[in-house]
Amino acid sequence: MPAPARKGVPALLGAGTLCAALLLSGCATPEPAAPPAPARPPASATAPAGRATDARPEAAARVPGLGPLTRARVPDGTDQVLVVTGTTENSNTATAVLHQRTKGRWTTAGGPWTVHNALRGWTADHSAGDLRTPIGVYRIGDAGGRLPNPGSRLPYDEDPQFAISGTGFEGEPLEGSFDHVIAIDYNRVPGRTPLDKERPLGAGKGGGVWIHVDHGGPTQACVALHREDLRALLVLLDPAADPVIAMGPAPDLAR
């Protein structure tokens, strides 16, 4: 059942100034007389240790694409991870996949989805106005938008203040970009509406980094999904699974 619309509820840690404000996401049988020949295992069973065949059970226990350092930042109780993978540090398009853990195994729950991120790509040290999306693992537990809740179980703040106008970096209209949003907890207080502007790390480290509707071009710092993909993600996210987003260039996430 969708969470009731809420206003002014407290939000988590979050980078970039509020997007709305800044912008202007095969056996042989031996012959009877001959002694039994030892059974030959399938070719796959003779593969050297470390190959995909041997690693399947272990790999299923890991979030695909995340290396040990990144996995260590995923809380133990988290059972949903949205992995947003860019190609390089400077790329402003990426791929998003929602992974879910059930009985100790990670499987794909949604995606892959094509997304936009910030104009200049990614950074591990985000500052307000640098036009880069922060790299890291962040909670995603608060949502909202100009339009009604499409069925999300996350706390959802429907508010006309999510309206936006103007054009993006490629001249595309921004109207409707914040019809639905999910706050990324970079430099924000958890549990509050995405509109909340408190910045625990200070204004210079940015804030208001959201997952929002793709307007057809790169963002200030946010991650943007096509409208129907974002609506699907909103429905899939389960607050009981303590969802997080792990985002950045593939080499960084693989560390």
Mean pLDDT for the chain overall = 84
pTM confidence score: 0.79
- The tens digit of pLDDT for each residue in 90-124 reads 999 999 999 999 999 999 999 999 999 999 999 99
For residue 214, what is the DSSP state?
-
- The tens digit of pLDDT for each residue in 127-170 reads 999 999 999 999 999 999 999 999 999 999 999 999 999 999 99
Q: Is 65 exposed, middle or buried (0-12, 13-18, 19+ CB in 10 A)?
A: middle
- The tens digit of pLDDT for each residue in 237-254 reads 999 999 999 999 999 999
Residue holding tokens 């069925």? Answer: 151
User: Nearest to residue 223, comparing CAs of 7, 17, 19?
Assistant: 19
Which residues, at least 6 apart from 195, have a Cβ–Cβ distance to it below 8 Å?
18, 20, 144, 157, 159, 161, 162
User: Nearest to residue 141, comparing CAs of 68, 51, 78?
Assistant: 78
- The whole-number pLDDT of residue 130 equals 98
